[in-house]
A and B are shown apart, each in its own frame.
Chain A
Amino acid sequence: MTTEHAGATTADTPGGTATAAAATGTTALPTGDPGTPAPATGAPAAPSTTRSVGRHVPAAGTAAAAEIERARQAMLSDAKPRNRTRIGADALCEALIRQGVDVVFGYPGGVILPLYDVWEDHPAIRHVLVRHEQGAAHAADGYARVSGRVGVCLGTSGPGATNLVTGVATAQLDSIPMVAITGNVPGALIGKDAFQEIDITGITLPMTKHNFLVRKADDIPRVIAEAFHLARTGRPGPVHVDITKDALTSETRAGHPETIDLPGFKPTFEGHPRQLRIAAEAIDKAQRPVILAGHGILLSGATEELRTFAERTSIPVTHTLLGVGDMDERHPLSYGLMGMHGWKHVNRAIQSADLLIALGMRFDDRVTGNVSTYAPNARIIHVDIDPSEIGKNVAVDVPIVGDVGRVLRALTPLVAERSADDRAAYLGQLAEWRSESEGTSWHGSGAWRDGYLSADYVISRLGELTDHDANLSSDVGQHQMWLARYAGFRRPDSHLSSGGLGTMGYGLPAAMGAALGQPDKESWAIVGDGGLQMTSQEFMTVVADHIPVKVALLDNGKLGMIRQWQEIIYGGHYHSSHLPGPDWAKLAEAYGLACFRARTPEEVDDAIRAAQAVDGPALVWFSIAEAQNVLPMMPAGKGLSDLIETWGDAAEGR
């Protein structure tokens, strides 16, 4: 293993090699001054690390300086008398605390400043100052995914709000409970193209579960209560609350509601008994049933119910990308990932099924491919809490609207028990297909060819060395598929991935949120060099706030997924898929972040262990093969039976 810091020479003592901010452990800086980076180990304190002092500022220690400090303190206490008026911003903080919020990811700006003026009076909330609002939204998303609580992010009007949008849309397509708060210009200026005014509720309208524009301080408690209820109830999703500056600053005596009334929002939780009976009958009759388990299993907390149901009926469980973790992958009935980059044996089982039991999934096009050739002989039972998902992409035979956990609890006693022996022929065939497909894919073998570091090997080692228990947040691209396929997930909610929107830049900020949402689990970001360059500014946040995120960078020097499509679908016509990146070790050093590097398989374990040993965040830079493909692959528009299984020749991987 080599440990790289440009300029640092302490190569062989993992942990001890981290640059100051990460390694000393005493430099936790949540309330400190993140604007002053700690000097790099071994380097003399550079002049730039001390605050530049203007001529008009008296030197420290002089009487003049003491006088200025006294005046500053007096000004501060003038600004914040303890007995001040309760304003909308206070009502907002109280409302958040009542909803159990302990962390808010945010960024200040003109119209949201009234809130920043009162944060300190509400110490139950930790505010994490991100470096870009997109990071705040993804962090709130990661926080929500691992904790099951509502994540909260915050930005100012105009550019602050539009920067949040990508993260809100990511949460919308993955059904993540989130409340996004933005400030807006004072009510009287709305519609006047005021400074930093944009019609942000118009923008978030189609990408949120609901949104609010609050113009009166008195409305804040009710709106926040409604927003949290909407975000977490039924099918979860992001809710946007836009609050005018004058609503934040006005005095208010509005109390917090005990109850809320939303007649237009009444999700159905229990499956209809008649539908359950029809489903049970169809299940009992099926010879080749397959369970399609989706994100709904995790959102509903129904992993136990899924296992019980599958075990009672001996039906194999396949999962979607967001359904990774629905079932411990070591379970004999856990059959694997379906879809575009799923396993061949899984897609084969789906195509030859006579019954699909879809549980909390939505037949995304990355799952079905061409619908007209999808599972041609299968009838479909579809369970989802959102009625609009049923019959949207495929016509189904037995629709069941309800919470998937409750539906499974009601359905399981209705179905006949079937042992694995009862299904010996079917399960035997599936097992054969599986060993065939896993055995012929060198990507799955952890093979090392021609001296290049292969991504699947790195991922499988990462799974192993984190005891398959860490929270692993993915970015988007090839590494996302490798992570889903090769890490060996065992625990629910430990795989975080932008499945629906496919948002590059998601990984690092999401891992940051995961680290705070579930502090007792290791939090890793598994990212590509492309995606990391989209949100690498959050390195500073994790360093400054001492958030112990470990980043595994799978650097192929390419927009790998783009390169793969250009190679296979566009006849090798490469354009813009080669992506020069920075010297990551130097960049890490600049941030005060520990960095370790692996270029060969022998270096992989040591690099991972070294990062784990750092008390705080760390980066592991894996230089992987430039041209490895994710296979099999279903080309867009084709069907699940049209998988491309191999490409190129022995040269692949270079």
Chain B
Amino acid sequence: MAAMNDPLAAPTAGATPSRYIPGSGSAHRHVVVVIVNDRPGVLNRVSSLVRARNFNIESLVVGHTERPGISRMTITLQGDDFAVEQMGKQLYRLVDVLKVQDMPQEHLVEHELALVKVRTTNRDRAEVLRIIELYKGRVIDVAPDSLIVEHSGTEQEIDSLVALLAGFGIRELVRTGTVAMARGSGVVDVEGILRSGTVPAVPESIAARVAASTAPATITIEE
């Protein structure tokens, strides 16, 4: 946060400094975990916000969690620390967003899954299989002129396997985007948030006013 002034320092003398514009710092890659309610439209809310607020995301993955009704998104994006913090705050404005965490780059397990359909012939199949073995990939389908490799790993690992296979000819490629989890016992916790309690449906001041003015007409139900 070099851009921040020391709140108690003396005002800068001499040449007027140029004020830092949030988001204009140097960008690097962030992995952000977002815990959301599993409801229709939540993915749309998140992606719409990210687009409207002009954040530059690389991937967004959603899936179920250990808790029914709760989903977990993993967003990877480029930005300076301010921009990513700002995205988190904007996401918190969504009622269905329960928790946002910018994952620390150290101690992070990051994986994505790729399926690659590679062109192979009898001549080069052995070579392709050797490369796959080297990368601990898995062959899940073989056809006379192609095979499907499944591989999970970091973005870079998949990038480099894909680069090698490209020499043989890639017919089709799909990647899931990154999911991530911190090593060790720490978790992205929503326990406290979910337990945080209820509020009155009608504030007391309004309830009192309504009671004083009108008894709401209730329509009797025909039996």
Contacts and interface: CB of A to CB of B under 8 A. Distances in A.
A225 B16 contact: no
B201 A281 contact: no
Contacts of A379: 5, 7, 9, 11
Contacts of B52: 206
Interface in B71-91: 82, 85-86, 89-90
Q: How large is the interface on B (under 10, 10 to 19, 20 to 34, 35 or more residues)?
A: 35 or more
B85 A391 contact: yes
A376 B17 contact: yes
B86 A388 contact: yes
Contacts of B220: 82-83, 86
A397 B4 contact: yes
B86 to A, nearest CB: 6
B18 A376 contact: yes
Contacts of B197: 261
B209 interface: yes
B16 A205 contact: no
Contacts of A386: 93
A264 interface: yes
B88 to A, nearest CB: 9
A100 B20 CA distance: 46
Contact of B210 (A97, A201, A233): A97
B134 interface: no
Interface stretch (B43-51, B137-145, B151-159, B164-172): B43-51
A388 B94 CA distance: 11
Interface stretch (A158-166, A367-375, A472-480, A567-575): A367-375
Interface of B is mostly: loop
A56 interface: no
B22 A388 contact: no
A305 to B, nearest CB: 19
B3 interface: yes
Given A86-B220, A395-B4, A100 B93 contact: no
A387 interface: yes
A331 interface: no
B19 A374 contact: yes
A388 B90 contact: yes
A258 B7 contact: no
A390 B4 CA distance: 13
B194 A388 contact: no
B213 interface: yes
Given A256-B201, A263-B194, A100 B210 contact: yes
B96 interface: yes
A86 B219 contact: yes
Nearest to B193: A263
A256 to B, nearest CB: 7
Contacts of A381: 7
Contacts of A449: none
A526 B45 CA distance: 37
A63 interface: no
B217 interface: yes
Interface string A248-290: 0001010011111111111000000000001001100100000
B201 A391 contact: no
B214 A124 contact: yes
B180 to A, nearest CB: 22
A264 B19 contact: no
Contact of A121 (B18, B89, B92, B219): B219
A382 to B, nearest CB: 11
Contacts of A210: 94-95
A279 to B, nearest CB: 8
A264 B86 contact: no
A86 B221 contact: yes
A124 B207 CA distance: 14
B97 A264 contact: yes
Give the interface centre of B3, B12, B44, B216 by most chain A CB atoms within 10 Å. Answer: B216
Contacts of B202: 98-100, 225, 228
A257 B199 CA distance: 11
A259 B201 contact: yes
A257 B82 CA distance: 40
Contact of A377 (B11, B198, B210): B11
A392 B196 CA distance: 28
B41 interface: yes
Given A124-B216, A397-B7, A388 B95 contact: no
A395 B199 contact: no
A123 interface: yes
A99 B206 contact: yes
Given A281-B8, A397-B4, A262 B95 contact: yes
A206 B222 contact: no
A376 B16 contact: yes
Given A201-B41, A206-B48, A391-B22, A264 B95 contact: yes
Contacts of B209: 100
B75 to A, nearest CB: 16
Given A84-B219, A206-B52, A225-B202, A395 B19 contact: yes
B68 interface: no
Nearest to B93: A388
A398 B219 contact: no
A230 interface: yes
A84 B222 contact: yes
A371 B21 contact: yes
Contacts of A266: 193, 196
A388 B216 contact: no
A121 B214 CA distance: 13
Contacts of B207: 98
Nearest to A118: B219
Given A230-B95, A388-B90, A83 B222 contact: yes
A402 to B, nearest CB: 15
A308 interface: no
B217 A121 contact: yes
A387 B197 CA distance: 22
Given A98-B207, A123-B217, A387-B92, 18 more contacts: A86-B220, A87-B219, A94-B218, A100-B206, A209-B93, A210-B95, A225-B201, A251-B221, A258-B200, A260-B200, A260-B201, A373-B18, A375-B19, A376-B12, A376-B19, A386-B93, A391-B85, A395-B22
9 contacts: A83-B220, A85-B222, A205-B41, A233-B199, A259-B200, A261-B197, A264-B94, A372-B19, A394-B19
